[in-house]
A and B are shown apart, each in its own frame.
Chain A
């Protein structure tokens, strides 16, 4: 790749420094604007990675290196790899072709089905997301009441086994949506809640037994009640959100409840905040739910939630659409959210929600060197051209099939 300027010999501007411990695998990114992911920005900063880990990050180098690859990121922006939650990349290749669908299992209570098993690292979609800086993804099962179990995966890997970042980190539940309070609708909702109540009671009982008769579905719920695994509750409207939180906090306070979708979270932020529920906000590039809503309500929601003190990640549902994740953060920033906070919502906050913030999510010492360098502001499509990507310290080839096709036809037409 002609972009990457390797300096494999002794780096001339480090040469005069003495007492350094030289290592072959050291890579230094210099002069870039470093967006740490935790809200901080380091202008003209420097970041050092060794053996796949970040070893230094700051204004200046605190220790020195005899040999290192140096990347001059002057004028460029350095970010942690983006984490895409709440999507079906790798489980769905072509929307209209059923044979390529691996996200919706038959039945209503499926906590035992695991998304990582079907996660196809050879998906043609994954490289297009990677191309835009998405290094990690949380493929989630859909459908039914309990859809299944999700895992955190890398968007690049030889196979799912290698791509796992965190296996079976949470279970997904769809809270019964009640469209309005017509009696027949409310009855339908109550039936759904009764079904959930029953299942959780059985599962809880199961988890308390030392030698239960094996039941795959109930067994999969172990870990939920202790808060070891996340319980992702998908609910969008205000009433469902209130009902779901009330249900779980009253019955199972130890459950780590994550609210997913949460379009109307801004209407009921107190109950979310006071119960320390974290939120994975669904796609904000959507139309308002009601005609009476502000025309840009979905764009405003992240900024409003931040002001109300709710912790949230941003997510883009679907599969091929996930490559636009950064622009959701960009829109959120344009409509009232601090830009670094917007970045946090697709980096550090998702990492925290999934309990991997010791490894990924920000550019801090000791974390995996999973890094993006962008030509300009990553959250703005106009300038978000990715310059380089590192996954665990290794640079990735950004050429996906779309780029190859592009180049092929540029060549055909002899244009540049």
Chain B
């Protein structure tokens, strides 16, 4: 070191020392104790960054900042030198998903159900929108959790108030012990949000789709806020300050990752999405988002699967997840998705480190793991100048392990944060380890064998007989005790101390001490090191840890590879065309590139997969106008009487097994409707049942937008146990809700035209404006004739048409008026008597409507009946003597018409989508079974394949169960698991 440099260092040294005194600003009780915080750790292996480890290096720290690092660092004499003794030093990890040190103040705790928010003052209207929060305001050092974080390797956390949808800003803080003033790295370091409204007791939003709607509207409101001059809102004021920070978005599963990503794209925000560890199940879609992830290492425990009947409660997806969860991070890395790792979800430091190593064993590269814990989070927080690696000028945040971190036996012994050491595991400088020749008169020729274990030392004494030795070390004093003889209860007790040390190996070479025998006599004791004790290595007999494959979707009957469209030729089928040709016998139907390409006799079979359909019947697929399958977390947003802003399309659950079950009943498409608990419900989604695809690929591209309206008892909440006080409580009120909504929508539309900048964009009114402009269409839940009439009057007076009345059990009473209005009807075959408003429902309803020229469909509203819609249509023949063709159209072409998709599907016609079903018999007969269901020329169900899947599912289950039983025998922790069944939603849920 040259002179100038030394002077500079000295100058900096005093400057920082001076600074340290001046900084406190606290009155001191006694003379200050400010130490020269100038330290060098030498002879240590330093992982300076994820790629590089420098062996035998030295790190020099001054006042918490790294001065120098390398193999030939000259340590100035002012610095205290600590011998690193060949240990391993890593840059501290950064946890991006944490609530460390943040407690929710009681003033923010909610107080019961409410229509409006609890937080009084000039804040956002919803209690789950906590944009006014800055977590730093609530930050306090937490002794217990500090230890946990330091022992897990984390020197800093991004701490947020993890409660609510918008959670305000998070603070980047150090996890070590100090005054809070010194622990803050960056007071407002990121924004945080989630899909979980947390402790908010405000009614809205009650569903997952309501949460999404609230997120959207909040973003719009925040933008609008900056253009207006009429109000002050502290939540948005604060948001303006923090919105340029990166945003951590916590989600609960892989589909929610996609959901968050979709919102981010809409608003031009790239979130740091904190997932739940199941991203590998939808990896391609997640990779396509191009948004970074924060991954937990919360692997499931072994499930208790000993009892077969009970084990049936565990789904295949959960079984497989137990096996595959450790592979998640590795698989994410292999897709080049940038990611960080968090300890969130791990019970303690042990579990985190164990799972980190498990992830590495399961395919995550060590370098990627380190990157995800250090550099990556630092970069995202734009803190890479200060944190993330061992580099000159950075904060001296690192931890030291006895062994390389990823070694199973590695322990984090000490953690340095901002140059201050926290000893985590008391380790003596010299260790007592190996075989020692014992000199003890009463036990000649004995060997004391000592091994280091996680929880201390373990020892045995060999000689006349072999005995377990209890051994303890306390600040240089060793205590041994063992039985005098194997069969004896009497113990020999020894106090001993090191008398010879080896400074190369850091071993205690010789002990001396005094033994007390059971007879009260004392003996001299010495023990001299003779050899290394090697623990018998546990060799894993199942060397290759085979794991299963990802299936799409990740549930029973999923596919290892996604089915693709094929060119099929159905030979000699009875074809129900739904066209003017009617039902034609012994005809061939060819499909190619997902479309019906030819219909005729004796078609050439070249380049086709031929399906012998002789004696079988080929129809277009069933379309369910009214379905609630494949919807995630809530089919109803009941909390307001108008929730036009919520969208089922935001919450499609592509993993719902009911999709597959519907396919087995010949259903190829359905309208996923919002429930019926409010006059204006949410926007529906029209999907094809492409089993295995993700949510967005289920949607029918360019399908018209639809929305659910509802009338009658449900929207009046007549059958709720108590009066709710939510408007409307009568059919009179229902009408008023509509008039109000559309009058407001018209005013809004006008305002948007005249003053688009100053008009607050309102997603609820947007949807209503779309209805007025015939860009969105109503499917209205309805029962009695009075209300049916009412809505048609409202529509006529407002200048739009109702597209469909669904349920419409008294449609037969106003069929003429419905015909005149031009509305379609989608009804049940024979449901009635389940509530007062359906006591005049008749099973001939659909027949009368059909005969009156109303486009009429039979729907399910029920996942079970949805797969027997062919039978429901057949009931029309029984009750109303209609033709088979007319009955069949009620579940195919007619629903296609009312969903505006009849140009592409609903009949067998050249050029239309190959959405076809092959039946074993007349599809309207109870004997008919589906043999194949094709969507866009892709076979998503075949009875043959179904049987194969059943047996392979069973085999896969059993394989994993056997593995679990073994893991449990080996001592892994277990838990009882009951998989949540896929919900079976109806209108009223």
Task: List chain A positions with a Cβ less than 8 A from chain B.
Answer: 93-97, 124-125, 179-182, 237-239, 267, 285-287, 289-292, 294-296, 319-320, 323-324, 327, 330-331, 333-334, 379-385, 402, 405-406, 409-410, 413, 415
Contacts and interface: CB of A to CB of B under 8 A. Distances in A.
B925 A380 contact: yes
A381 B874 contact: yes
B265 interface: no
A331 B674 CA distance: 31
B268 interface: no
Interface stretch (B4-12, B797-805, B837-845): B837-845
A384 B848 contact: no
A331 B848 CA distance: 28
B735 interface: no
**How extensive is the interface on chain B, given as a class?**
35 or more
Contact of A413 (B815, B832, B922): B815
Nearest to B871: A381
Given A292-B312, A402-B843, A413-B816, 19 more contacts: A96-B718, A96-B835, A180-B310, A181-B307, A286-B864, A287-B984, A292-B953, A292-B957, A295-B664, A327-B871, A330-B926, A333-B927, A379-B926, A381-B877, A382-B878, A383-B925, A409-B812, A409-B813, A409-B848
Contact of A406 (B556, B718, B842): B842
A72 B309 CA distance: 54
A402 B842 contact: yes
Contacts of A125: 833
A405 B785 CA distance: 14
Q: Which of B317, B865, B877 has the most CB atoms of chain A within a 10 A radius of its CB?
A: B877
A320 B833 contact: yes
B878 A385 contact: yes
B222 interface: no
B95 interface: no
Contacts of A331: 926
Given A402-B842, A406-B848, A287 B927 contact: no
7 contacts: A181-B307, A237-B309, A333-B926, A381-B874, A383-B878, A402-B832, A406-B812
Contacts of B316: 291-292
Nearest to A404: B842
Contacts of B927: 330, 333-334, 380
Interface of B: 304, 307, 309-310, 312-313, 315-317, 555-557, 657-658, 660-661, 664, 713, 718-719, 812-813, 815-816, 830-836, 839-840, 842-844, 848, 851-852, 863-865, 868, 871, 874-875, 877-878, 880-881, 884, 922, 924-929, 946, 950, 953-954, 957, 976, 978-979, 981-982, 984
Nearest to B662: A295
A274 to B, nearest CB: 19
A95 B834 contact: yes
Contacts of B924: 382
A319 B831 CA distance: 11
A291 B833 contact: no
B70 to A, nearest CB: 57
Contacts of A292: 312, 315-316, 556, 953-954, 957
Select the residue from A331, A382, A410 with max chain B CB neighbours within 10 A: A382
B981 A291 contact: yes
A332 to B, nearest CB: 10
A415 B848 CA distance: 8
Contacts of A383: 877-878, 925
A413 B848 CA distance: 9
Residue in A182, A295, A296, A334 whose Cβ sees the most chain B Cβ within 10 Å: A295
Given A96-B719, A327-B926, A382-B924, A290 B815 contact: no
A405 B833 contact: no
Contacts, number: 142
Dominant secondary structure of chain B at its interface with chain A? loop
Contacts of A405: 812, 840, 842
Given A93-B833, A405-B840, A406-B844, A382 B874 contact: yes
A402 B848 CA distance: 13
A179 B978 CA distance: 9
B315 A291 contact: yes
A410 B957 contact: no
A77 B946 CA distance: 36
Contacts of B315: 290-292
Nearest to B315: A291
A330 to B, nearest CB: 4
B835 A95 contact: yes
A94 B830 contact: no
Given A180-B978, A291-B657, A413 B836 contact: no
A291 B556 contact: yes
A415 to B, nearest CB: 5
A402 B844 contact: yes
Given A292-B315, A292-B316, A285 B833 contact: no
Contacts of B880: 406
Contacts of A296: 664
B976 A182 contact: yes
A290 B863 CA distance: 14
Contacts of A181: 304, 307, 310, 976
Contacts of A320: 831-834
Among B843, B884, B922, the most chain A Cβ lie within 10 Å of the Cβ of B843
B309 A97 contact: no
Contacts of A94: 833-836, 839
A34 B803 CA distance: 48
A323 B831 CA distance: 10
Given A291-B555, A331-B926, A285 B868 contact: yes
Nearest to A287: B864
B541 to A, nearest CB: 30
Contacts of A330: 926-927
B687 to A, nearest CB: 19
Contact of B877 (A97, A182, A382): A382
Contacts of B834: 94-96, 320
A380 B928 CA distance: 10
Contacts of A402: 832, 842-844
A384 B864 CA distance: 22
A96 B661 CA distance: 29
Contacts of B875: 381
A402 B868 CA distance: 23
A245 B718 CA distance: 43
A124 B864 contact: no
Contacts of B881: 385
Contact of B839 (A124, A237, A285, A319): A124
A295 B660 contact: yes
A291 B982 contact: yes
Contact of A287 (B661, B813, B815): B661
Contacts of B830: 323-324
B712 to A, nearest CB: 11
B309 A239 contact: yes
Contacts of A295: 557, 660-661, 664, 946
A57 B835 CA distance: 44
Contact of A124 (B664, B833, B926, B950): B833
Contacts of A385: 878, 881
A410 B848 contact: yes
B843 to A, nearest CB: 7
A384 B954 contact: no
Given A285-B864, A292-B315, A320-B832, A381 B844 contact: no
A180 B313 contact: yes
Contact of B926 (A95, A179, A382): A382
B976 A294 contact: no
Nearest to A182: B976
The residue among A95, A319, A405 with the most chain B CB atoms within 10 A of its own CB is: A405
The 8 tightest CB contacts between A and B, nearest first, are: A96-B835, A330-B926, A320-B833, A382-B874, A95-B834, A406-B844, A402-B842, A380-B926
A273 to B, nearest CB: 18
Contacts of A285: 864-865, 868
Contacts of B884: 382
